[in-house]
A and B are shown apart, each in its own frame.
Chain A
Amino acid sequence: MDRRHFLAFSSFVTGAALTPAFFGKAIAQSQLQDAIDVAVKKRLADAALTAATTAGASYCDVRVGRYLRQFVITRERNVENIVNTESTGTGVRVIADGSWGFAATNELTEDAVAAAARQATAIAKANAKIQTSPVQLAPTPGKGEVSWRTPIQKNAMEVPIADKVDLLMGVNDAALAAGASFVNSMLFLVNEQKYFASTDGSYIDQDVHRIWAPLTVTAIDQSTGKFRSRDGLSAPMGLGWEYMDGKPEHKFVAPNGLTTYGMSYDMKEDAIAAAEDAQAKLKAPSVEPGKYDLVLDPNHLGLTIHESIGHPLELDRVLGYEANYAGTSFASIEKRNENFQYGSEIVNVFADKTQVGSLGAVGYDDEGVKTKKWDLIKNGTLVDFQTIRDQAHIVGKDESDGCCYADSWSSVQFQRMPNVSLTPSKTPLSVEQMIAGVDKGIYISGRGSFSIDQQRYNAQFGGTVFYEIKNGKLGPMIEDVAYQMRTPEFWGACSAICDESDYRMFGSFFDGKGQPGQVSSVSHGSSTSRFDGINVINTARSLG
């Protein structure tokens, strides 16, 4: 899902009364601060575990989930929507006769979850009749009764609605005063209260928080009929309301003054810059197509990492489990075994489900595996994938990497991307020094149009803002830029990476995968990086 769908959601609930099931039930503000008692969750979980094993399941896990979301959606001087939603229920997954089965119920009674457990077992047994190879689970030790919480400083759900409305109205006023024709600003807040229990002896209570504050400013020149938008340069994060503090030490200022953000965000400042940039885009010259050296800001590069490294190294894609929808992967197990050169020697990419502030950080995944950090690409060579418990044996691992996630109690958990990040250079290198070495290039920040094939070879990326680089100097804004790439050649063309002082995270708040479709949130850290000789096309067309 992307923001377009969210906007569709917004107009839906403006008119109609009901929120789609994924978003759950609308509730009062005060209820966003409640939680279900752990003892109640344990009782429910035990009822399901007992029912499943009695019905013949060899393994069972139970997720009692309470998923809270708050959306505040504004345009110009109007609050279009404030929605608080809650979705609570229990999902039960079992293995019986070597097959998976799953059933879910929104009734929080021991009878209801036990019935779901029996139904899941019956589904597993029906499937087993045509299953040829039984499920193999990598062992994971029982964790006992443990808990984990996103290390937030201030729970965004506790901040009064009036303060959030004031913030967004201030942002919109600032953008309009700076010349915006239109401005949309939003807050998306998520709190997942997840309780996991399994027949392995784990009872894991987790409280996960995420925040996103997107904005879009549009400028229109009615005389030419031209319009241009500039999105905010924030990133969704696994943080609390402290993300909105906009601390000076969290700003990253490029040599031309372009400001992006790290562990906190100054939304008003960015809205003013967006209004100025949107107007500048109306007049910016169109790019001359050809080969350029690209200097990619982390707020842009994160999406390229996501699409061309994160997704192809999902083991379920590699194996063919996603063949009917998201696709497979060029990065086969054979390539890993043959030390496939994924990129240049300076390219080191790691997966990390523990990184503070990241969207993917949790203590344990949705099948009770403790999270960790591990290498995916080392000195340019493909070394590993992302696994869950029923895949680990296929790549010769004796434990899962902890990449299992479900977006709801009513969804089946499956393999999802951890945070996947590019290691910064150990040698000091600033953005200014990097640009000074480029003769003919383009500096790109922000996410734009992105599209990649079903094996993750051929991709095309746009961006939010583009600046020409000529003879080592950042020049004026240009427009209509998209670059085309083939994944291994693109990463092979990575010739420089800035040092850790430039490192920050990009985030994808609604990453879609699976059938039925599920979303997940994931961060990608990097420092500004250079890619040589990349093909740039001009995207301007005329409708006559």
Chain B
Amino acid sequence: MSILSEAKAKAILDKVIAFSTADETSAQLTGGRRGNVRFARNDISTSGLVEDIDLGVQVAFGKRVGIATINQFDDASLERVVRRAEELARLAPENPEFMPAVAKQTYRASDTFSAATAALTAEMRAKIAQDSIQPCRNQNLVAAGFLEDGHTFMAHANSNGNFGYQVSTEADYTCTVRTEDGTGSGWVASNVRDISNFDASDDVQIAMRKAAASSSARALEPGKYTVILEPAAASGLISFMMNFFGARQADEGRSFLSKQGGGNKIGDQIMDPQVNIYTDPWNDTVPVLPWDGEGLPRERVDIIKEGKVANLEYSRYWAEKQGKPQTAGWGNTIMEGGTRSTAELIASTERGVLVTRTWYIRMVDPQTVLLTGLTRDGTFYIEDGQLKYPIKNFRFNESPVIMLNNIDELGRSVRVEGGNIMVPPMKLRDFTFTSLSDAV
């Protein structure tokens, strides 16, 4: 069994720490089962199951650190992995940025587990594939998709007496449906903690409708358009931007959050006042582990508050150097929205472009977080509150910072890809499309 109980995990970690002769020791156990099924051309193509548990041990002599891992848990193996980490630590150069292990912490558990997801079997995965494929076969459409589910645990402890244990589940489903002649393509994605909240037969209908409706797309001139980005499309840009909220990069002058002349932009208005972004490990929709990679307890932290930079993410080293409190690394991103659905945003739009999905997003200029990428799998022209006709895909060159200054309306925020981000659908002015793509 690849899930260890809390008592069993603690017993292993306690032994590891007892074996160590180093100045300090931290250890972490992670493991579980990950299953998947992949389908394409209306048939299952691959499927698999991987079970594994790993024990990682980090020891330090002064500022010299060694890391070793093993996946056997008898006493001899546990002692061997500790000695190996000690050997590496003695060989390592001193790390001037070394931070000692965290003190004993108290964690408030987050609700990351679902029994239904943990009970998924190969037959159930095959059925999800079949529920996606069969309706497509019936309507001469072609499905390609992927389901991956995980039932995992994590336990960690250190020589200061700190300990944490939690079990998580997740299932991630995506399906692309294309017309047989390749002129139309639609897509749907669902990321859930609890598989009983998911029904492939329902979801695939969305992709099927978009595939059928998107064939014979017309070409529009590239330029600036009012767009409605569906949550998955918006998340592509927002999640990319969230990688660049590090305080150190900003303080060092190499981030869009660096201030001319020195320092960072905490407190500065950089986006429309409708923008509120925060992180919260206990959020009902996107819960994450209540500790970060170093064992600091996560908390709810405002990142953007009414368009102003509220906080940046500090490593423990950088926080100490800058005289800031040591706070945990962020585990999720929640962008607040309004109350209306994507359909309601469309209904109130005179002219605009609906974007299902954004694709192949890359940084063009870190100075302005200018990103480029493309629309994909369902791009439509909106007129008088209706989807009027499908349009060819566009390449965009747009900065999410500029985009979040051009908000007409934010809809209701939902969980999207990866399971650790909530993003609303958004209606934006002057979104920059720079060229047309013939890709379907």
Contact = CB atoms under 8 A, between A and B. Distances in A.
A458 interface: yes
Interface string B32-62: 0010111011111111111110111110000
B368 A542 contact: yes
Contacts of A222: 253, 260-262
Contacts of B373: 451
Given A515-B146, A543-B270, A29 B91 contact: yes
B70 A25 contact: yes
A48 B388 CA distance: 57
Contact of B56 (A18, A129, A132): A18
Contacts of A325: 146, 174
A539 interface: yes
Nearest to B291: A16
A99 interface: yes
B19 to A, nearest CB: 14
B175 A27 contact: no
A104 B359 CA distance: 32
Q: Is the interface of B mostly helix, strand, loop or mixed?
A: strand
Contacts of A484: 395, 434-435
Nearest to B69: A25
A539 B370 contact: yes
A515 B36 contact: yes
A460 interface: yes
Contacts of B401: 543
B152 to A, nearest CB: 11
Contacts of B363: 449
Interface stretch (B108-116, B121-129, B225-233, B421-429): B121-129
B30 interface: yes
Contacts of B270: 543
Given A17-B28, A25-B70, A4 B395 contact: no
Contacts of A319: 41
Contacts of B129: 130
Interface stretch (B92-100, B304-312, B336-344, B346-354): B92-100
A227 B254 CA distance: 6
Contacts of B252: 181-182, 220
B84 interface: yes
Interface string A435-465: 0000000000000011111111110101000
A100 B47 CA distance: 8
B194 interface: no
A541 B144 contact: no
Contact of A225 (B41, B67, B175, B261): B261
B48 A26 contact: no
B293 A15 contact: yes
A325 B368 CA distance: 28
A462 B364 CA distance: 7
A79 B93 contact: yes
A460 B91 CA distance: 45
Q: Which of B40, B292, B373 has the most CB of A within 10 A?
A: B40
Given A102-B48, A320-B178, A454-B376, A225 B253 contact: yes
Contacts of A12: 293
A159 interface: no
Nearest to B36: A516
B20 interface: no
B45 A100 contact: yes
A131 interface: yes
B357 to A, nearest CB: 10
Interface in A504-541: 515-516, 537, 539-541
A130 B360 contact: no
Interface in B387-403: 393, 395, 397, 399, 401-402
B345 interface: no
Contact of B91 (A80, A101, A126, A161): A161
A425 interface: no
Nearest to B27: A17
B293 A26 contact: no
B163 to A, nearest CB: 14
Given A414-B46, A457-B438, A27 B68 contact: yes
Contact of B44 (A131, A323, A328, A456): A131
A26 B69 contact: yes
A455 B46 contact: no
A220 B259 CA distance: 12
A131 B43 contact: yes
Interface of A: 4, 11-13, 15-19, 21, 25-29, 78-80, 82-84, 99-106, 119, 122-123, 126-127, 129-133, 161, 165, 181-182, 218, 220, 222-227, 229, 319-325, 327-328, 330, 410, 412, 414, 449-458, 460, 462, 480, 482, 484, 486, 515-516, 537, 539-543
21 contacts: A11-B315, A18-B28, A18-B55, A29-B88, A78-B97, A101-B47, A102-B47, A123-B47, A130-B44, A181-B254, A225-B261, A227-B258, A320-B178, A323-B144, A453-B439, A455-B438, A460-B372, A460-B397, A515-B38, A516-B36, A537-B434
Interface of B: 26-28, 30, 34, 36-38, 40-52, 54-58, 67-71, 84-85, 87-88, 91-93, 95-97, 99, 122-123, 126, 129-130, 133, 142, 144-146, 148, 156, 174-176, 178, 182, 185, 187, 243, 252-254, 256, 258-262, 270, 292-294, 315-316, 359-368, 370, 372-374, 376, 393, 395, 397, 399, 401-402, 434-440
